Amino acid sequence: MTKLNLANKKIVVVGMGLTGLSCVRFLKAKGAKVTAMDSRSELALKLDVPLFLGPFDGNRLNKADLIVLSPGIDLHLPVIQNAIQSGVQVIGDIELFAQFNETPVIAITGSNGKSTVTHLVVEMCKAAGKKVLMGGNIGIPVLDLLEKPADIIVLEISSFQLETTYSLAPLAATVLNISEDHLDRHGDLEAYQIIKLSIYQHAKNIVCNRDDILSYPINSKPALTFGTSNSSNGFSWDKQHNRILLNQLAYLDAQSCLLVGDHNMLNIQAAAALAKVTGIEDEYIKRGAREFGGLPHRCQTVSLVKDIRWINDSKATNVGATLAAIKGLMSDVKGKLILIAGGEGKGADFTPLNECIGESVDVLITLGKDGKQISSAKSASYSVTSIQQAVQQAAKLADSGDTVLLSPACASLDMFVSYQQRGDCFANAVKELVK
């Protein structure tokens, strides 16, 4: 691959979050003439490049040789589109990484489960003795990985990052699933799907979910598939015997894994398929799957007191994630399932939740900007104004054997700084119950 010639190029980096700052460092080291921009009016940063705050300077952008756009900045902003029409190339940090990286990459995207699958793949590679690095939309910005020695790099990649990526050639790539998310930025589900599927474009091995037609490659054949459906070729889920199969043969018992729920069995399948097509042996794939205990805010049990299980799934920021959590946990719920949901819906359609909540949720507690839209799914519902009130209401209703699930189906920014803060508030409120 011909690497970008960055020396002495006039390059504008737009957005000074962690990703943008990593881009500035990288470009400076390559000899580029870097300018930084951020829409905020104040920024406590000391940079050794010119920094322009406030509304983006269209004249300066139009005169750039290259624009490097942080994933949090909308590619469709008029000032960015005007620059593109003026002939300026716009890329992101993943594309910069792809231009200079020489280490094999496993690339993971999807609406839900990306972080869990990314961590699982890392654990499987570590079990095999591989020097593995992880980054992208999780952990370390990708450009900071380039100078570090590794046998393999595992990347979680968002749709915002894929929008400005053109030449990434992963050793293995997957789109785990596709459901409505970020439609306030991408416009509609079809546009979002096209962006997600672009991860397959130059991939050597494609791994896909055979049960999700939206995530299936259009013009390529998968190297391996996974899913809940039975298959003679690929990973599948034997619910009757609670085990994962490979080519219809027993592969891994769910009871031996720390992760719980049907959705996590699907995550394990996806990670195993990615590891397998990249040459990791089954022994190490299984070891990694057995030893990984899950991530905070992703169907994480935060308390089990008086035989009431409290689960923090604050990372469920869209409808698909909440559907997966409810369906995945049903086999583990002994009593009532009490769901806490609501927040900033980002323009999503909540009607797919109605049937699932109606059939599987016993009590619904809603909060946040769009909580009322969700509450219509259940006559036995309660509206509250805070996480603390939601926990207190759930505690009044919960009995031994019940499960209380925080799985909002919404973003958190109407009430919290992040989904992490929302999940921490939930966990702290639960801890207050048992003091």
pLDDT digits (tens, 9 = 90+) for 266-303: 999 999 999 999 999 999 999 999 988 778 898 888 88
Position 387, amino acid = I
DSSP class per residue in 122-158: HHHHHHTT--EEEEESSSB-GGGGTTS--SEEEEE--
Query: Annotated catalytic, 263?
Result: no
The mean pLDDT value for 204-218 works out to: 95
Query: Annotated catalytic, 137?
Result: yes
> Annotated catalytic residue: which of 30, 101, 112, 137?
137
The mean pLDDT value for 391-420 works out to: 96
> Annotated catalytic residue: which of 30, 130, 182, 297?
182
Burial of 155 from C-beta contacts in 10 A (0-12 / 13-18 / 19+): buried
> Annotated catalytic residue: which of 30, 101, 114, 209?
114
Pairing of strands 66-69, 10-14: parallel
C-beta of residue 203 within 8 angstroms of C-beta of residue 174:
no
Query: Annotated catalytic, 396?
Result: no
161-205: per-residue pLDDT in tens?
Answer: 999 999 999 999 999 999 866 666 766 888 899 999 999 999 999
Instruction: Write down the architecture of domain 10-91 according to CATH.
Output: 3-Layer(aba) Sandwich (3.40)
Looking at 88-102, 114-128, 322-336, 413-427, which range is the least confident one?
A: 322-336
* Cα–Cα dist 99/84, whole Å: 20
Asked whether the predicted pLDDT for residue 400 surpasses 80, the reply is yes
Could you state, in order of their start, the residue ranges of all structural domains in the chain? 10-91, 96-291, 300-433
The mean pLDDT value for 371-393 works out to: 95
Write the CA distances from 44 to 51, 140, 435, integer angstroms: 11, 21, 40
What pLDDT, on the 0 to 100 scale, is given for residue 155? 98
CATH number of 300-433: 3.90.190.20
**3 state SS for 6-43:** CCCCEEEEECCCHHHHHHHHHHHHCCCEEEEEECCCCC
Residue with more model confidence, 133 or 295: 133
Mention every residue, 6+ apart, whose C-beta is less than 8 A from residue 68.
Answer: 11, 12, 13, 14, 20, 23, 27, 90, 91, 92, 93, 96
What pLDDT, on the 0 to 100 scale, is given for residue 168? 97
Q: pLDDT tier at 26 (50, 70, 90 boundaries)?
A: very high
Q: Which two tokens stand for residue 318?
A: 């869209």
What pLDDT, on the 0 to 100 scale, is given for residue 187? 66
CATH 3.40.640.10 fits 96-291, yes or no: no
Does the pTM of the predicted model rise above 0.85?
Answer: no
Q: pLDDT tier at 427 (50, 70, 90 boundaries)?
A: very high
* Cα–Cα dist 15/70, whole Å: 5
Residue with more model confidence, 343 or 263: 343
What pLDDT, on the 0 to 100 scale, is given for residue 20? 95
Give the containing element (helix H, strand E) for 119: helix 114-127
Percent of the chain residues past pLDDT 90, beyond the cut: 80
333-381: per-residue pLDDT in tens?
Answer: 889 999 999 999 989 999 999 999 999 999 999 999 999 999 999 987 9
- The mean of the pLDDT values for the chain is 93
What pLDDT, on the 0 to 100 scale, is given for residue 269? 98
